[in-house]
Amino acid sequence: MEATGRLYPSFTGVRPVPLGSLTAEQQQFAAQNHNLIYAFLREKGYDVGEFYDIAALGLLQAAQRYLTQPRLRRYAFTTIAWQAMGRELAQSIRAEARQKDAERRYLEAVRARPPNWGGDLEARLILHDLLGGASEEQRRLALLRLRGCSIPEAAQAQGMGVKRARRLLKELRHDYLIFHSETERGIKFHDY
């Protein structure tokens, strides 16, 4: 066996195929070697409650490979099982670290963005002024649309036809465009 600088030698040179269905013989073999999971986790210092299922997948994969690949039988099963359980744990820990790193980077990016107080405030003021000049029907339709309702849904909720709802919202939009052009010139909507 050539030295590869690893704790365990590479038995196949490639990553094992994902675990498929186990035969009855493989299941029985894994059950007979079940105690290896506890021995592995204790030796490596991992919490049994937290890492048992991950190590168990490694043991099942090792049992399957050991019984289907005759060249592995020249090694003790514990060697194959230790390697498989170590690989599964390392892969799980790396995946969890990547997940935590992605969450950390996302939170940093969100926190680094300055709040848009001016834009939010301006949008609220425009909406306030716009709805102040709208009819009650237009106001209710606009609020339903802001909550994500489609025009037919908003019309149905208000007990009116879709055509009427579209017309009322079109009028409101027209008023907004007039309001927007006048506010750029310094005229207030309520003076309109």
Average pLDDT of the chain to the nearest whole number: 81
**pLDDT at residue 119, rounded to an integer:** 55
pLDDT band at 115 (very low <50, low <70, confident <90, very high): low
**pLDDT at residue 103, rounded to an integer:** 86
pLDDT at 7 over 70: no
**Cα separations (Å) of 93 from 43, 80, 118?**
17, 20, 43
Consecutive H or E run containing 153 = helix 151-158
pLDDT tens-digit readout, 35-67: 999 999 999 999 999 999 999 999 999 999 999
Structure tokens at 94: 């790396």
pLDDT tens-digit readout, 64-101: 999 999 999 999 999 999 999 999 999 999 999 998 88
Residue 46: which residues within 8 A CB-CB, separation 6 or more? Answer: 55, 89
Cβ atoms of 190 and 129 within 8 Å: the answer is: yes
* Protein fold of 117-191: Arc Repressor Mutant, subunit A (1.10.10)
Domain regions of the chain by residue span:
24-112, 117-191
Please report, rounded to a whole number, the percentage of residues in the chain having pLDDT higher than 90: 46
pLDDT band at 192 (very low <50, low <70, confident <90, very high): very low
**pLDDT at residue 109, rounded to an integer:** 81
Q: Write down the pTM of the prediction.
A: 0.51
Separation CA 95–CA 54 (nearest Å): 12
Separation CA 92–CA 42 (nearest Å): 18
Cβ atoms of 55 and 37 within 8 Å: the answer is: yes
Consecutive H or E run containing 180 = helix 162-184
Query: Which 8-state DSSP code applies to residue 14?
Result: S
Closest to 192 in 3D by CA, of 134, 141, 123, 105: 134
The predicted model gives 14-38 an average pLDDT of: 84
Q: For residue 7, with 0-12 CB atoms within 10 Å meaning exposed, 13-18 middle and 19 or more buried, which class applies?
A: exposed
